[in-house]
Amino acid sequence: MGQLEGALAVVTGGSQGIGYAIAERFVAEGADVVITGRRKDVLDGAVAALGPRVTGVPGDAASLDDLDTLMATVAGLGRPVDVLVANAGGGGEAPLAQMTPELFDAVTDLNIRGTFFTVQKALPLLAEAARVVLVSSISGSNGDPDHATYNASKAAVRSFARTMTNDLRGRAIRVNALSPGPTMSAGFSDFVGGEEGVRRIAAAVPLGRIGAPAEVAAAALFLASTESSFVAGTELVVDGGMSQV
């Protein structure tokens, strides 16, 4: 029997990358999973690959209307949500002097506003003692140049795990943050400048390599299962020691 046998899980941004790996692991552990994605073609492909226990709902976590559509779909399943993973995030960046209000809003709307309202709108659907996993990043704790907005947005996600744990203590709902480091998901190599960028970053990781999405998914499973039954309000860092030593 899997660690999530019979559970209903919702994973935003679950059509590719880390979100897809989390959905894939949850299905392998016995869960029924609802995933979202902004690109319907990619979402449809993910649902086909993950199998009949996965439902796809197109949508953007930065859109409150799309979040309402997601929750209406989940409510229509007629069962409470045992696990919510607010994974959708990302956004562009610009140096401090070149940051525009439009780009600033796009990043914070997705990472801060989207994460907050994903949880808020799911509240009526969450089971007692549900598990909520907020996907942050080690960027929330560092000062990488030219990434001020993204870094701050991920720090906010980590902060949500603390406050929401207190806000939801009456329902015994555990909220934790999951903070990946460099992870070889789709587009990572291009994002860091190709093979040379990958080698440079890998050299900065004490374990000497880039992480795999499945490794982040394993950490998400821990936070989503009863194995972490006395873990709440914390941050689980999955970065090969990069930000820790």
**Is residue 216 scored above 90 in pLDDT?**
yes
> Lowest-confidence range among 23-32, 87-96, 210-219?
87-96
Q: What is the distance between the alpha carbons of residues 111 and 8, in angstroms, rounded to a whole number?
A: 24
Q: What is the distance between the alpha carbons of residues 109 and 230, in angstroms, rounded to a whole number?
A: 31
Q: What is the distance between the alpha carbons of residues 237 and 64, in angstroms, rounded to a whole number?
A: 29
Nearest to 127, CA basis, from 3, 2, 5, 9: 9
What mean pLDDT, rounded, does the chain reach? 96
Angle at CA of residue 5, ends 41 and 52, nearest 5°: 30
How far, CA to CA in Å, does 205 sit from each of 11, 18, 123, 241, 244?
28, 19, 38, 6, 10
**Is residue 119 scored above 90 in pLDDT?**
yes
Length reported for the chain:
245
Residue 2 has φ and ψ, to the nearest 5°, of: -75, 165
Q: What is the distance between the alpha carbons of residues 105 and 111, in angstroms, rounded to a whole number?
A: 10
The DSSP line for 38-104 is: S-HHHHHHHHHHH-TTEEEEE--TT-HHHHHHHHHHHHTT-S-EEEEEE---------GGG--HHHH
pLDDT band at 5 (very low <50, low <70, confident <90, very high): very high
The DSSP line for 218-245 is: HHHHHHHSGGGTT--S-EEEESTTTTT-
Domains of the chain (ranges; CATH) run 8-233 (3.40.50.720)
DSSP annotation of 209 reads S
Is the separation of the CB atoms in 135 and 157 below 8 Å? yes
Between 187 and 171, residue with greater pLDDT: 171
The model carries a pTM of: 0.97
pLDDT tens for 48-107 read 999 999 999 999 999 999 999 999 999 999 999 999 999 999 888 899 999 999 999 999
pLDDT tens for 176-211 read 999 999 999 877 877 787 889 899 999 999 999 999
The answer to whether residue 20 is catalytic is: no
How far, CA to CA in Å, does 97 sit from each of 33, 100, 114?
42, 9, 26
Task: Kindly name the residue from 20, 26, 117, 150 that is annotated as catalytic.
Answer: 150
Residue 34 has φ and ψ, to the nearest 5°, of: -105, 125
**Is residue 219 scored above 80 in pLDDT?**
yes
pLDDT band at 143 (very low <50, low <70, confident <90, very high): confident
- The tokens describing 13, both together, are 């941004």
Give the distance from CA 118 to its chain's centroid.
11
